[in-house]
Amino acid sequence: MDARQSRLQELFRRIPETTSRLFNRHFVRRLEGQNLLEVFFVTAVASVLGIRFFLALTGYPKLSPGNLHIAHVLLGGILMMLALVIALGYINKSAYYVAAALGGFGFGAFIDELGKFITGDNNYFYRPTAALIYIIFVLIYLGIQAFVHKPRLTEEEKLINALEIAKEVVLEDLDHRERKRALELLKGCSPNDPVTKALRGLLYATDAVSVPRPDIYTAMKYRARRLYRKMVQREWFVMAMIGFFLLQSFLALGIDFFLLYERIGWRLHTQGTFLALPHSDLAGLVSATVAASFAMAGIMKMRSCRLEAYELFKNAVLVQIFLVQVFLFYKAQFIALFGLAANICVLLVLYYMIRQEKAAQGICQENDDLKLR
C-alpha cells in the first residue's frame, strides 16, 4: 500500500513538470512580446475612443446602400484578418509591430459594437456597453501585466530570443542596443553549446548600425515619461494630486449616500428597505465605501508612517479604477473617461512617492547600520 501511494505521489509530482515542458515546447515566450502587446492594447483603446468620438461628432451616420447595413465591425474583422496574415506570413520585427497595431485597431472596431451582439434588438446604445467594454480592457490589461511579470526565461527561450534578434543581421538592421540585448541573453546560455558559440561569434563579427530614431508612439511615450518625472518632482503637483484624490473619494462617497437618502428617504417602513435598491447602486455604494475607507486609513497613517499611508492611498486608487469606475461607466457612459484619466495620474504619482519613500528609508537604514558599527 505504501509503495502504491509513493508511486501515485511521484506521478502527481511529475504532472506539473510534464505539462510545463510540453507547454514551453509549443509556446516559446517572446522577449519583444511586452512591447507588442502594449501596442495592441493602446491601439485597441484608441480605436474605440476614436470611433465613438467620430460617430458622436457626425451624428451617428449609417452606411446603408439599398437594403444593406454595413457596420464597422466588418472593418474590425478585416483589420484583424490582415494582422493574422502579416503575423503568419512574415518574420521580421517591423511586420510584427504592424500586425499588433492592425490587430488593435480591428479589435477596437469589433468590441465597440458589443451592444449589438448581446441585445435582442441589436441596440448599439445599450447602457451597460461602456461598462462591459471597460471591464474587457481591464482584463486584457491584467493579462498583459501577468505576461510582463512572468518568470525568468529558460535557457532555451533565451537562445531562441537571441536568434530572433540575430535575424536583423541579415537585414543589416542590427543596432547597438539590440546586439547588447542579444549578448546579455547569451550570457544565460551554456557557453559550450554550439548554437550559442555561433551566435556570439556572429554578433561580435557584425558591425552594428546606429540606433534608429524612435517611432511616433515610442517618442510620445518617452516624452510623457520625461514630463511625468519633471512634474512629480514639484511638491505642489504632488500635493494637488493627493488633494484631488482625497476630495474625489469622499465626494463620490457623499454623492452615493445622498442618492441613497433620496431613494429610500427616512420612510423605510413604507418605501421598502435598503436592499430594495438596484444592484448596480448597491455595488457602487459598497465600492465607493471601500475606496474611502482606504483613503481615511491613509490619512490616519500619514504622521506615523508615510510609506504605509501611500500604500493605502494606492489601494484606494486601485479600488477606484477596478471597481468604482465600472459603475461610473455604467451610469455616465464614456464621460467617465475623465475620472479614469485623473485616477491614473494620481496612481502614477503615488507609485513615484512610494519608490522615493522606500529609497529614503533604505538610506536611513544604511546610516543606522554604519552608526552601530
Q: Give the per-residue pLDDT at 128.
A: 86
Confidence class for position 100, pLDDT limits 50, 70, 90: very high
Q: Is residue 214 classed as helix, strand or coil in its secondary structure?
A: coil
Give 212's DSSP letter.
P
Residue 30 CB neighbour total at 10 angstroms? 17
Maximum average pLDDT range among 61-65, 184-188, 208-212, 224-228: 184-188
Place of cell 451597460: 128
The CA distance from 359 to 364, in Å, is 9
Alpha helices in the chain, H assignment, sequence order: 2-26, 33-58, 72-89, 93-111, 114-118, 129-148, 155-170, 176-187, 194-205, 216-232, 235-264, 268-271, 279-301, 306-319, 325-332, 337-372
Q: Is residue 209 classed as helix, strand or coil in its secondary structure?
A: strand
Q: Over 70: is that where the pLDDT of 50 sits?
A: yes
Check residue 123 and give left, alpha or beta (phi > 0: left; psi -120 to 50: alpha). beta
What is the torsional sign of CA 168, 170, 175, 179? positive
Terminus-to-terminus CA distance in the chain, angstroms?
A: 59
Q: Over 60: is that where the pLDDT of 22 sits?
A: no
Place of cell 496612481: 347
Q: Is residue 119 classed as helix, strand or coil in its secondary structure?
A: coil
The CA distance from 41 to 34, in Å, is 11
Q: Over 70: is that where the pLDDT of 230 sits?
A: yes
Task: Give me the residue spans of the domains in the chain.
Answer: 33-148, 155-212, 219-365
Q: Give the per-residue pLDDT at 2.
A: 57
Q: Give the per-residue pLDDT at 67.
A: 76
**CA 359 to chain CA centroid, nearest Å:** 26
All three cell numbers of 152, joined, read: 525568468
- Identity (one letter) of the amino acid at 42? V
Q: Give the per-residue pLDDT at 246.
A: 76
Give 206's DSSP letter.
S
Complete DSSP assignment for 136-189 = HHHHHHHHHHHHHTPPPPPHHHHHHHHHHHHHHHHTT--BHHHHHHHHHHHHTS
* Region 74-80 average pLDDT: 93
- Identity (one letter) of the amino acid at 324? V
- Per residue in 65-75, pLDDT (tens digit) is 777 778 888 99
Percent of the chain with pLDDT over 90: 12
Give 122's DSSP letter.
-
- Decide: pTM greater than 0.85: no
pLDDT higher at 20 or 243: 243
- Per residue in 274-319, pLDDT (tens digit) is 445 566 667 777 888 888 888 888 888 877 887 888 888 888 888 8
Long-range own/partner contacts, residues 188-195 (CB < 8 A, 24 or more apart): 188/153, 188/155, 188/158, 189/155, 189/158, 189/159, 189/162, 190/155, 193/159, 195/159, 195/163
